[in-house]
């Protein structure tokens, strides 16, 4: 650290302007076991908010400042420490907001501008680790671009940020002076409680489960993860098929997630030729109400290792997948501790336990409703591109949006379209003939 920065840091610490805290367990995952460098843009969470109506920069700035004052992660930067990095949280700081007039830029040009903003690196030591840019076509046509580093946020945090930003904006335009309520628990306080909870005794009781479950699992692709964000391709599962899937889950006493995950196992096995698959799936890790109301990187990753036997009845496979999720979630431990317990040596470019991610995104996304304004939020990246292939499913009005994230050095778009086609065919076939064998479901024409 340069001498002037050390001097300023000492002044902040002595005056109480800043505090140092250890990294939380989820943050340690990014520094210690992630296959991509922590500064890589693959670790950026990004969304855009299309706003129609008069949106003033002055009120936007004031609203953002209120959110920054409330959420400690928006005042956070990462400093080097003796053993591992430290969080530095400032008591107060300004905002990272920019307005840019883009004239009559078309949709493709706007998307390219947003992508450039998403890819811009963050200075982890200087902070802040977020940015908001207002791309203005006219006074009544805006695209708000929001990017934040995964070390201080997750998908749930994104919804909280949008909700708090527009609540603060509404207060400003209506003349209300009432501030947002204080956070019930800061992210740093949650991290301290989490470290205290995971004692060696707590970990020991679950590690044997994982050693038994994951012994013998193999890497599928001997190709490292390339730098930068992956390619993204979207498809839609129609609302009618989504409803059939929910009904199948109800009849077979499993969760909606288990029905989708079990189907994904079958489809991926058919597509890849691999019958023994270990998939990573995120859990929100926000069981307490205090955690649900605070921004930060809380989410954890749980491995799900299962096999596909084509001679089995499809509904029985889904029930097995459900039991797998129950057992694995029930024995979940922080991912960084799991890697350490298994004796895995992190290798640059490779995830230490799995290469495929499957997620049902059910974190709340607010409906933005403001006087004389309409706003539509759209995700661009969940900051979880530390895998070779990912399937992220989100509910929307049309049914289920399926986002496929993939690395071009391994897969083509045609490959992913084929996988998506198999997935939807298996889902429809299993819903309509749950007592059929997997081999029959796979061979049934669409």
Calpha distance 173→251 (Å, rounded): 50
Beta pairing partners, 233: 404
Contact of 35 with 224, CB cutoff 8 Å: yes
Strand-strand pairing, 399-406 and 389-396: antiparallel
Strand-strand pairing, 356-361 and 276-283: parallel
pLDDT value at position 396?
A: 81
Contact of 389 with 406, CB cutoff 8 Å: yes
pLDDT value at position 116?
A: 93
For the chain, residues classed under CATH 3.30.559.30 are: 199-363+380-443
Closest by CA position to 339, among listed 147, 219, 211: 211
Closest by CA position to 302, among listed 370, 369, 376, 354: 354
* Ramachandran sector of residue 307 (left: φ over 0; alpha: ψ -120 to 50; beta: rest): beta
For the chain, residues classed under CATH 3.30.559.10 are: 3-189
pLDDT value at position 281?
A: 95
CATH 3.30.559.30 corresponds to the domain 199-363+380-443:
yes
Tokens 């597509």 found at: 271
- Helices 25-32 and 335-342, interaxial angle, to 10°? 50
What order do you get walking across the sheet with 369-370 strand by strand?
97-101, 130-138, 141-149, 44-52, 373-382, 369-370
Contact of 389 with 277, CB cutoff 8 Å: no
Beta strands in 71-173 (DSSP E): 76-79, 86-90, 97-101, 130-138, 141-149
Calpha distance 396→299 (Å, rounded): 22
Beta strands in 239-312 (DSSP E): 276-283, 300-307
Selecting from 3.30.70.100, 1.10.3720.10, 3.30.559.10, 3.30.590.20, what CATH number does the domain 3-189 have? 3.30.559.10
> What pLDDT digit, counting tens, does each position of 324-381 carry?
999 999 999 999 999 999 887 777 777 889 999 999 987 766 677 777 788 887 877 7
Instruction: State which residues of the chain have pLDDT below 70.
Output: 1-2, 177, 364-366, 382-385, 445-446
SS3 content of the chain, % helix, strand, coil (to 5): 40, 25, 35
CB atoms within 10 A of CB 363: 18
Q: How far is the CA of 346 from the CAs of 34, 37, 125, 210, 353, in angstroms? A: 8, 12, 24, 18, 9
The structure tokens listed for 245 are 């899937």
Q: What is the DSSP letter of 312?
A: S
Q: Is the pTM of this model over 0.75?
A: yes
**Which helix or strand (DSSP H or E) is residue 359 part of?**
strand 356-361
> What pLDDT digit, counting tens, does each position of 18-58 carry?
999 999 999 999 999 888 889 988 899 998 999 988 888 99
> Phi and psi (nearest 5°) for 346?
-55, 135
> Phi and psi (nearest 5°) for 304?
-125, 110
């Amino acid at each position: 650290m340069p001498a002037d920065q050390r001097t300023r840091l000492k002044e902040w610490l002595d005056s109480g302007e800043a505090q140092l805290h250890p990294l939380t367990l989820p943050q340690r995952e990014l520094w210690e076991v992630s296959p991509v460098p922590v500064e890589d843009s693959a670790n950026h969470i990004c969304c855009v908010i299309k706003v129609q109506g008069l949106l003033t920069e002055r009120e936007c700035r004031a609203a953002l400042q209120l959110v920054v004052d409330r959420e400690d992660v928006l005042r956070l930067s990462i400093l080097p420490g003796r053993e591992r990095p430290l969080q530095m949280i400032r008591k107060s700081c300004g905002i990272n907001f920019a307005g840019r007039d883009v004239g009559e830029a078309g949709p493709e040009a706007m998307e390219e501008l947003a992508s450039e903003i998403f890819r811009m690196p963050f200075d982890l030591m200087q902070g802040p680790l977020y940015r908001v840019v207002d791309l203005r076509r006219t006074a009544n046509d805006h695209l708000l671009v929001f990017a934040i580093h995964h070390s201080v946020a997750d998908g749930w945090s994104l919804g909280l940020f949008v909700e708090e930003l527009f609540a603060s904006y509404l207060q400003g335009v209506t003349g209300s002076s009432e501030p947002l309520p204080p956070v019930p628990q800061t992210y740093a306080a949650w991290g301290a409680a989490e470290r205290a909870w995971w004692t060696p005794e707590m970990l020991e009781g679950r590690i044997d489960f994982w050693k038994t479950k994951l012994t013998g699992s193999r890497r599928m692709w001997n190709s490292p993860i390339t730098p930068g964000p992956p390619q993204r391709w979207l498809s839609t599962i129609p609302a009618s098929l989504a409803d059939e899937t929910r009904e199948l889950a109800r009849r077979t006493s499993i969760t909606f997630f288990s029905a989708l995950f079990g189907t994904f196992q079958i489809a991926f096995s058919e597509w890849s030729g691999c019958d023994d698959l270990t998939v990573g799936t995120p859990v929100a890790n926000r069981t307490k109400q205090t955690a649900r109301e605070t921004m930060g990187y809380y989410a954890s990753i749980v491995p799900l290792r299962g096999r596909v036997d084509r001679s089995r009845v499809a509904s029985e496979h889904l029930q097995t997948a459900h039991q797998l999720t129950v057992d694995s979630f029930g024995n979940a431990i922080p991912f960084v501790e799991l890697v350490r317990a298994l004796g895995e040596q992190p290798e640059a470019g490779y995830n230490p336990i799995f290469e495929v991610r499957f997620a049902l995104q059910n974190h709340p996304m607010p409906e933005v409703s403001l006087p004389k304004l309409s706003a539509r939020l759209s995700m661009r990246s969940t900051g979880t591109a530390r895998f070779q292939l990912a399937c992220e499913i989100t509910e929307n009005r049309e049914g289920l949006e399926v986002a496929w994230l993939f690395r071009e050095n391994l897969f083509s778009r045609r490959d992913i379209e084929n996988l998506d086609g198999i997935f939807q065919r298996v889902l429809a076939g299993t819903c309509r003939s749950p007592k059929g064998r997997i081999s029959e479901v796979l061979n049934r024409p669409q």
